[in-house]
Amino acid sequence: MPLPRSLASSAASRPAISAARCARQTPRALVRTARPSITTVRHSSSVPHHASFPPRRSSHAVGTALFAAVAAAFLMFGTTAVHADAPPDLANPAVDAVQEPVTKKPVPKTLSLVYDGRPHVFHLLGLGVRQVTFLNISVYTVGFYLDSRSMDALRKRAATFAPFTSAPEKKLEDVVEPLIRGDAAEVSVRVVPVRDTDGPHLRNGFMRILTARMGHESATLSETDRQAILEAMDVFRAAFPTGQVKKGEEFVLTKTAGGALRLQHKGVEIAYVRNRWVAERLMEGYLREKKAIAPKLRKSVAAGLHALFTGHEDF
C-alpha cells in the first residue's frame, strides 16, 4: 500500500541512516507505538511477519524500507484504538441503532446507565433533531428514553390513555405530566451535537427551558421553592464544559425515580442535581407543544407512546 504523501516525503527527505542504527532504534520506538493496546479492536488480518528485500541494498535504501514498513504497521494498527471512555461506535452495524431522518445520524435503541448502585436500561421512545433559525440548521440529535420499569407501568395503565390513542400528536400534552412526574418514572434524554459548538451554547439552551417554565409557574411557587430551584439551576449551569464541544460528543440527562437530575458527558457524570422540579421540567420541555424545542421529536414520541399503549411497540 503506498504511503500517504506526507509520510513518503518525510521518508525521502531523511538523511541516510545506517542499517544497524535503524534495526537498533527505529523499529523498537515506532513498533511500541503501533502495538495494539488491550482496548484496540482486533483485526482479522495481521501485519506480515517477514518481508523480502533484495540483497546488498544501500544503508539509505534499507532505512527507507524499514521506515515504510513501520509506518504501514502504524497506519494499520495505530488508527483503530478504541478508548474505554469513548462512546460506542454507532457506525458499526453490530450496534443496535436507528437513523435520525434529518441528520442521518445513528441513535441507539437502548441506553445502559449505572447509578444508585444498580444498572438501568432505557429504551428509545422517540427521536428527532433540534434545529434553529428559519433555515432549520440542525444543532443536535435528541433521543427520548424510558426505563424498563416505567414502560411496564405505562402498559398496565394503557386503558386510562384511550383518549390519547385516538389522536396521539394532538393529545400528547395531556400525557406529559403523567409520563414524567410519576413517582417511579425514570426518563433520559440523549443529546449529541451534529456540528462543533461550545459548552455555554448548549447550556444556555437547557437553561432557557427551565427559565421559561419558571416564569409560567411563578404564581404557584413559594419563595422557598423559588430559591431552591435557583440554587439547583446554578449547580446545573456550572457543570457544563466552558470550552469547545466537538460534534459527536454525547450528553445524557436523566430524571431519576427519586426526583434527581443526573448529567453525563462522554460517559462521565458531571452533575447531580437534587431538585425534582428542575429534573421534571427539563424533561417535560422536550414534549411541550408551546414553542416546541424539537417538533419532530414530539411527533416521534407521540408515535412511540401510541405503539406502547396499543401493544405494537418494538422495544
97-310: CATH topology is Chalcone isomerase (3.50.70)
For 242, other C-beta atoms within 10 Å of its C-beta total: 9
Q: What is the three-class DSSP state of 30?
A: helix
pLDDT at 95: 62
pLDDT at 213: 94
CA–CA separation, 207 and 141 (whole Å): 18
Provide the whole-model pTM: 0.70
pLDDT at 108: 98
pLDDT at 35: 41
Residues (pLDDT < 70) of the chain are: 1-95, 315
CA–CA separation, 302 and 166 (whole Å): 11
Rounded to the nearest angstrom, the gap between the alpha carbon of residue 181 and the centroid of all alpha carbons in its chain is 25
Helix residue ranges, H only, 90-171: 148-156, 162-166
pLDDT at 301: 96
Structural domain boundaries of the chain? Answer: 5-78, 97-310
pLDDT at 135: 85
CA–CA separation, 178 and 74 (whole Å): 55
Q: What is the CA radius of gyration of the chain?
A: 26
